[in-house]
Amino acid sequence: MAQNDSYNKIIKSMYSLRRFGIKLGLSTIRRILKGLGNPQDNFSCIHVAGTNGKGSVASALATILNASGYKAGLYTSPHLVRFNERITINNRPISNNNVVEAYKAVKQINHGKREPTFFEFTTAMALYEFSRQNVDWAVIETGMGGRLDATNIIKPALSIITNISVEHREYLGNTIAQIAEEKGGIIKKDTPVITGIKQKQAVSVVKEIAGKKSAPIFRLGDNFRVKRNKSGTFTYFGIENTWRNLQTGLLGNYQVDNAALVVAACEMLNKKKAGIPIESIRKGLANNNWPGRLEVVSANPFVLLDGSHNLIAARNLARYLSDNLSNRNITLVIGILDDKPYSAMLKSLLPVCKRAIITSPKIDRALSPERLLAVAENLISDVTIIPDVSNAVNHAIESARPDDAVCIAGSLYVVGEAKEALENMDKRIHKRIHS
């Protein structure tokens, strides 16, 4: 009990830290890591940035590295239900005790003139824990942007930039070129770059950064490509290899492009003598699990969770619903944060749904349901507001027919609260059955 109290106390303390600070520079995180003995220098790293897909790519790489016999760390954000999800080793979140110990180690370091942000603090915790547990490799996902992201103090063996679209304008800029410059900030001297960027402006910016740093760059569709097969598998035509009948365990046609970046990354790592066999690549891709992204959590009624936290993701989700669930009446449970293009997201998603339940996650950045309703009621006739995510999820499922579908989307924070609600629902059902 005392250990749980300590864990809950430090989690509360971290949540009280400032959430943002991307323009504040890297001096604070450098100072903290120096005080910890620069733990980030004690293992090999892969750095992953991008607008969409970076979590899927990062988790697949960590899974493949583990399947290849390496002890692999993975640092991602945000978490869905528990903070520990952000820091995993060999696909398992670190324990509460390890969270507490990492927190204490970072807390005792003199952080300089300003208090670290939440993300700086958790980044230091992750790097400390990876070093303490002697991981061989750590796959590190940026939080936001790249150039001034707290993760950009690592010295990776490989950098990956998945794709780019307009997001977080206040921090990253208003144009594709400006955002590409921020994302491209993770590129290091003489370090290979794998990317799925398609826009000419963005490609030009990233190529220029890579050129100045003598960093070899490899682009999807240029230096490597994929062909989707009718069987659901895909063929990878790579930098040096052609591999057939590969398959990703993640749903969504776009995940094949993400998988291509992963396989290209493995090719580059093998050039550095990583020794990743094709069998491990096959196994890792097939077994990759990335919760909250087209995650099916119930078959009857069909319940699907998808963070779809920006316009590209919303369009991808709408395409998946249209292609795969057009024979079902779909209820959309949706909440969106205030820095997202909510009107365009709703216009993408609502036309493929029968009804909508508008909700709001507990985070202070959530848009009010009333603002979403003003757009939604012009797009769909059956729309209601249930502000509490748990109540919204319960109502959607309890009122659904067996052949209906429920999709919970719009924000990873909504999905996180939904997962917790579904877990509690399962516990109540289990208790009733066994009482």
Give yes or no: residues 317 and 214 share one domain.
no
Question: CA-to-CA distance for 203 and 205, rounded, in angstroms?
Answer: 6
Distance CA 85, CA 71 (A): 17
Q: Assess whether pLDDT exceeds 90 at residue 278.
A: yes
- Structural element, H or E, at residue 182: helix 176-183
Same domain? 82 vs 127: yes
pLDDT at residue 5, as a whole number: 84
Do 111 and 234 sit in the same domain of this protein? yes
Task: Flag the least confident range among 164-173, 337-346, 356-365.
Answer: 164-173
Q: Same domain, yes or no, for 263 and 300?
A: no
Q: Dihedral (C-alpha) 208, 214, 216, 217: value to the nearest 10 degrees?
A: -10
DSSP strand pairing (72-75 vs 87-89): antiparallel
Give dist(CA 432, CA 435) in Å, integer. Answer: 5
Looking at the predicted structure, is the pLDDT value of residue 76 above 90? yes
- Quote the pLDDT of residue 133: 98
Residue range 171-180, pLDDT digits in tens: 555 688 888 9
Domain total for the chain? 2
167-191 burial: b if 16+ Cβ within 10 Å, else e = bbeebbbeebbbbbbbbbbbbbeeb
User: Which 3 state secondary structure label does DSSP give 406?
Assistant: strand
Res 430 pLDDT > 50: no
| Residue 148 DSSP symbol | T
What distance in Å separates the CA atoms of residue 116 and residue 179, rounded to the nearest whole number? 24
Are residues 301 and 283 both part of a single domain?
Answer: no
Contact 278, 301 (CB under 8 A): no
- Tell me: do 301 and 279 sit in the same domain: no
Going by pLDDT thresholds of 50, 70 and 90, the confidence category of residue 319 is very high
Mean residue pLDDT of the chain comes to 92
Q: 197 and 244: one domain?
A: yes
| Distance, first Cα to last Cα, the chain | 26
Residues 240 and 319 in one domain: no
pLDDT of residue 165: 72
pLDDT at 167: 56
223 CB neighbour count, 10 Å cutoff: 16
Predicted confidence (pLDDT) at residue 398 exceeds the cutoff of 90: yes
Find the CATH number of the domain harbouring 311.
3.90.190.20
Structure tokens at 393: 């999820």
Place of tokens 């003139």: 113
Cβ contact 54:307 at 8 Å? no
Average pLDDT for 214-222: 97
Confidence check: pLDDT of 431 > 70: no
The whole-number pLDDT of residue 433 equals 44
Residue where a domain stops, chosen among 239, 267, 287: 287
Mean pLDDT in residue range 226-241: 95
**pLDDT band at residue 434 under the 50/70/90 scheme:** very low
Over residues 342-349, mean pLDDT: 97
CA R_g for the chain: 21
pLDDT at 201: 92
Domain boundary pick from 271, 287, 303: 287
* Same-domain pairing of 379 and 316: yes
Burial string for 193-217 (b: 16+ CB within 10 Å, else e) reads bbbbbeeeebbebbbebbeebebeb
- For 106, the domain range is 2-287
Residue 190, pLDDT > 60, answer yes
> What is the identity of the amino acid at 2?
A
**End of a domain among 255, 287, 319?**
287
Among 341, 334, 327, residue whose Cα is nearest residue 407: 334
Q: How far apart are CA 228 and CA 18, in angstroms?
A: 44
Question: Mean pLDDT, to the nearest integer, of 26-38?
Answer: 96
With a cut of 50, say whether residue 22 has pLDDT above it.
no
Q: What does DSSP say about strands 242-246 and 234-237: parallel, antiparallel, or unpaired?
A: antiparallel
Span 261-278, mean pLDDT?
Answer: 96
In this structure, of 14-28, 103-117, 129-143, 246-260, the range with the lowest mean pLDDT score is 14-28
Q: Which of 102-106, 119-123, 174-178, 428-432 has the lowest mean pLDDT?
A: 428-432
- Single out the residue of 61, 123, 126 nearest to residue 91, CA to CA: 61
Mean pLDDT confidence for 76-93: 96
Residue 342 has pLDDT above 50, yes or no: yes
Where residue 20 falls among pLDDT bands split at 50, 70, 90? low
Same domain, 310 and 326: yes
What's the whole-number mean pLDDT along residues 19-27?
67
| In the chain, % of residues over pLDDT 90 | 83
Q: Which residue has the higher pLDDT, 51 or 226?
A: 226
Q: Is the pLDDT of residue 351 over 60?
A: yes
Measured torsion, CA atoms of residues 201, 204, 205, 209, in degrees rounded to the nearest 10: 170
188 in the same domain as 98 = yes
Q: pTM of the entire structure?
A: 0.92
* Domain match, 189 and 246 both: yes
Each residue's pLDDT tens digit, 109-131: 998 778 899 999 999 999 999 99
How far apart CA 230 and CA 349 sit, in angstroms, is 27
